[in-house]
Amino acid sequence: MNERGKKWMNARHSVIDENWPEAEKILREFATPSDEAESSEQWDAIIANYYLQDYPSVINAFEVLEPELDISYKTFQKRRGLSTLIYVAHAYNEIEQTEKALSLVNLIRSEFSEFLDMGFRKTANHWYLMGLLEVVEGNEEMAIISMQRAVDQGWVNIWEMEQEPILRDLFDKPEFSEVRQTLNARLAIIKEQLAYMDKTASL
C-alpha cells in the first residue's frame, strides 16, 4: 500500500474510532489537489470534499476529470468509482444544479443496467450504493428498501452509514432507524462470536 493509501486507511480508522478531528485533518490533505495533479488526486479530492461537505470543491475536481471520463461497467466493479460518481451527483443537487445531477444519475442508471445485463449480480455494497443514488433522486422510500436489502445481504459498515452526508435527511425516518437497529443487532452478534472464538482459541 502506498502512502496515499495508508492515509486513507488512517482516515477511515479515525472515523470508526469517532475521532472526527483527526479524520478531518487527513481529509483536508486530500481536498486540494496540486495544479498538475494526476487523475487519482482529483478523485481523492472529490471524496475528501464530499465528506467535508464542500460541494463546490467536489464539482471543481470532477469538472477537471469530466472531459476524459470513461464511465463503463468497470466503474461498478470498483466500488469507489461508483460511489464517487454518486457523491458528485449529490454535490450538484446541493449547489442547485439539478439538471447536471439528473444527467449524471441517468448515466449511472444506464451503465448499471448494462452491468446487470452482462451477468453481474447486485452485491450488498451495490444495494447500499443504489440506496445512496435513490436518495439523490429524491426517492427516500426506495432508498430505505435498498439499504435494508444491503443489510440483509451482509453489509455491516455502520460507521460509513453514520457518517454519510447523503443520508443525513433519513436519520429522522422511523423506517431508516429500523434498518440501523437491525444492523447494530447484527454487529453485536458478530462481536459476540468473535469474542467467543478468541476465548476458545486461548484454551
- What's the pLDDT at 201? 65
What DSSP line would sit under 29-76, residue for residue? HHHS--TT--HHHHHHHHHHHHHHT-HHHHHHHHHHHGGG---SHHHH
Residue 165 included in any domain? yes
Residue 2 included in any domain? no
pTM across the whole model: 0.84
Residue 80 included in any domain? yes
* Average pLDDT of the chain, as a whole number: 84
Counting the structural domains of the chain, the total is 1
Residue 81 included in any domain? yes
| Phi-psi category of residue 53: left, alpha or beta, with phi > 0 → left and psi -120 to 50 → alpha | left
- Give the domain extent around 93: 8-201
Report pLDDT digits (tens) over 30-82.
Answer: 998 877 767 788 888 999 999 999 999 999 998 887 766 665 545 544 555 78
What is Dmax (Cα atoms) for the chain? 62
Residue 158 included in any domain? yes
Q: Which triple of cell numbers denotes residue 48?
A: 475528501
State the Cα–Cα distance between residues 86 and 166, nearest whole angstrom: 9
- For residue 26, the domain's CATH number is 1.25.40
State the Cα–Cα distance between residues 184 and 76, nearest whole angstrom: 27
Residue 1 included in any domain? no
Report pLDDT digits (tens) over 172-190.
Answer: 999 999 998 888 887 777 6
